[in-house]
């Protein structure tokens, strides 16, 4: 299985257009450290590729990765589909860029597909532009994308996008609605496994079971601390209120991630205020000492 990292920035990108935090100023001064929005491309055989999330930068991300380039026919693309971890704008706006008579399959949970039909009606908007197939995924039900690439969705959180509203937090009484999922990707020939979870509100026993035997883990690294936005003067909301557990601290994800047997442990979906985007920061050096990487566009993993 081949995995290509297309970008690692959380919503807003890096730099964010209206932000003058230290990280964004640095990214403007040194464009080589800037990043497009978080997403990966995965393939079992290196010929047919699936995008995990369709970011606002998807056209630039495809252009930057030669494996995703169209050809040899004029309108033939190796991109076969998109797997959505949620219905957030930074993970779904890119579907509007993937029109132009494309024939992709878009995979998502029931509430995610409903959101893209009702509150953010991408499905209707694209109906005259592309022949997209919308395929519902069920939690815990393995789905074969091709003859060697298998994917299984698992619940990470039940927070809907803000444009949907809290009234849609759950469907069916007390049961959490699968608004946010991670994907466990398996190469059925090599046995290699990759977990992609760009949104993780808590590291519970369920999640621990998903990553216990993974060869590579791409994990939510949005905020260094829960109060990062307030400390940086960038807002008042906490990381956990937005569905993201912090990286650092006794209740953070870093030490649990470091303890995993996975060969590669990679943070993704990183907010522009997070100091780990700076290679020279103490925070970044600490992660490196734990054997944890910070993702970047162009990073490739084979399992």
* Long-range pairs for 285-291: beta carbons < 8 A, 24 or more residues apart: 286/254, 287/247, 287/254, 290/254, 290/255, 290/257, 290/258, 291/258, 291/265
- Please state the pTM of the whole predicted model: 0.95
Listed in sequence order, the residues at least 6 apart from 229 whose beta carbon sits closer than 8 Å to its beta carbon are 223, 235, 236, 237, 238, 239, 273
d(CA 241, CA 158): 12
The CATH number assigned to the domain holding 291 equals: 3.60.15.10
- Asked whether the beta carbons of 122 and 87 are under 8 A apart, the reply is no
Report the SS3 class of residue 184: strand
pLDDT, position 165? 81
Residues facing 32 on adjacent strands: none
- Tens digits of pLDDT across the chain (303 residues): 999 999 999 999 999 999 999 999 999 999 999 999 999 999 999 999 999 999 999 999 999 999 999 999 998 999 999 999 999 999 999 999 999 877 899 999 999 999 999 999 999 999 999 999 999 999 999 999 999 999 999 999 999 999 998 655 544 445 579 999 999 999 999 999 999 999 999 999 999 999 999 999 999 999 999 999 999 999 999 999 999 999 999 999 999 999 999 999 999 999 999 999 999 999 999 999 999 999 999 999 999
Q: If 0-12 CB within 10 Å is exposed, 13-18 middle and 19+ buried, where does residue 256 land?
A: middle
Number of domains in the chain: 1
Q: How does strand 39-43 pair with strand 2-7?
A: antiparallel
Quickly tell me which residue has 């109906």 as its tokens. 127
Tell me the Ramachandran region of residue 144: left when phi exceeds 0, alpha when psi lies from -120 to 50, beta otherwise.
Answer: beta
Domain boundaries, position 111? 2-302
Q: Count Cβ atoms below 10 Å from residue 197 Cβ, excluding itself.
A: 24
pLDDT, position 68? 98
Cis? peptide before 71, omega within 30° of 0? no
SS (H, E, C) 34-96: CECECEEEEECCCCCEEEECCCCCHHHHHHHCHHHCCCCCCCCCCEEEEECCCCCHHHHHHHH
* Encoded tokens for 259: 């303890």
Quickly tell me which residue has 């990280």 as its tokens. 23
């Amino acid at each position: 299985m081949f995995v290509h990292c297309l970008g690692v920035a959380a919503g807003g990108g890096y730099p964010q257009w209206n932000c003058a935090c230290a990280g964004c100023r640095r990214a403007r001064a040194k464009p080589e450290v800037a990043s497009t929005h978080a997403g990966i491309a995965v393939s079992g055989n290196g010929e047919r590729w699936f995008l995990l999330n369709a970011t606002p930068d998807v056209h630039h991300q495809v252009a930057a990765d030669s494996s995703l380039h169209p050809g040899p026919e004029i309108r033939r693309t190796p991109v076969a589909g998109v797997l959505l971890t949620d219905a957030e704008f930074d993970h779904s706006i890119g579907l509007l860029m993937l029109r132009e008579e494309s024939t992709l399959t878009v995979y998502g949970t029931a509430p995610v597909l409903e959101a893209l039909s009702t509150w953010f009606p991408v499905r209707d908007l694209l109906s005259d532009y592309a022949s997209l197939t919308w395929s519902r995924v069920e939690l815990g039900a393995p789905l074969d994308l091709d003859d060697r690439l298998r994917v299984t969705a698992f619940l990470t959180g039940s927070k809907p996008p803000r444009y949907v509203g809290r009234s849609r937090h759950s469907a069916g009484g007390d049961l959490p609605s699968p608004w946010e999922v991670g994907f466990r990707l398996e190469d059925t020939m090599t046995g290699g496994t990759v977990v992609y979870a760009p949104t993780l509100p808590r590291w519970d026993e369920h999640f621990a079971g998903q990553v216990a035997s993974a060869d590579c883990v791409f994990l939510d690294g949005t905020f260094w601390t829960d109060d990062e936005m307030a400390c940086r003067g960038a807002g008042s909301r906490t990381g956990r209120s937005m569905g993201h557990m912090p990286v650092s601290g006794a209740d953070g994800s870093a030490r649990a991630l470091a303890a995993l047997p996975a060969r590669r442990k990679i943070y993704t979906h990183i907010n522009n205020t997070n100091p780990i985007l700076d290679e020279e920061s103490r925070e970044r050096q600490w992660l490196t000492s734990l054997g944890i990487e910070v993702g970047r566009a162009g990073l490739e993993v084979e399992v």
